[in-house]
Amino acid sequence: SRPLADALRTWAETILPQLSGPSDLAKAFRYMLTRWRALTRVFDDGRIGLDNNPAERALRGVAVGRKNYLFAGSDRGAERAAAFYTLIETAKLNRLDTEAYLRDVLTRIAEHPARRLRDLLPWNWTPLTGLAQAA
């Protein structure tokens, strides 16, 4: 809650001058205090999460398979794999049936106007063929 965060800031501002300048703790306090506005933004906007755990969980599979990606063939291949992972995980976060989403988008994208590619992003997608949207 905001009162606890305010108390933390007051305490950090009180303690910081007593710490050795180059110490790790002093660096951590300065880091926190210089980013205080961004850190406490969560109290002003309820849409902002306290953590990024959903994103971390979504990328866990990428981290687990890291050794396998050494064989992507090239940097370009690895970049394409990363783009697909991002697209698939974003579709999951938007509660789409990822198989239906990919099938629909991959069949439409070649004929889809470039200026309207945003329509095919997971948060904007409307299935062309009446595919089920909920996973």
The gap between the terminal CA atoms of the chain, to the nearest Å, is 34
For residue 99 the two structure tokens come to 């198989």
pTM of the model: 0.50
Give me the amino acid identity at 97: D
72, 78 Cβ separation under 8 angstroms: yes
Give me the amino acid identity at 93: L
85, 70 Cβ separation under 8 angstroms: no
Domain boundaries, the chain: 2-43, 51-90, 94-135
Position 54 pLDDT exceeds 60: yes
25-39 residue pLDDT tens: 999 999 999 999 998
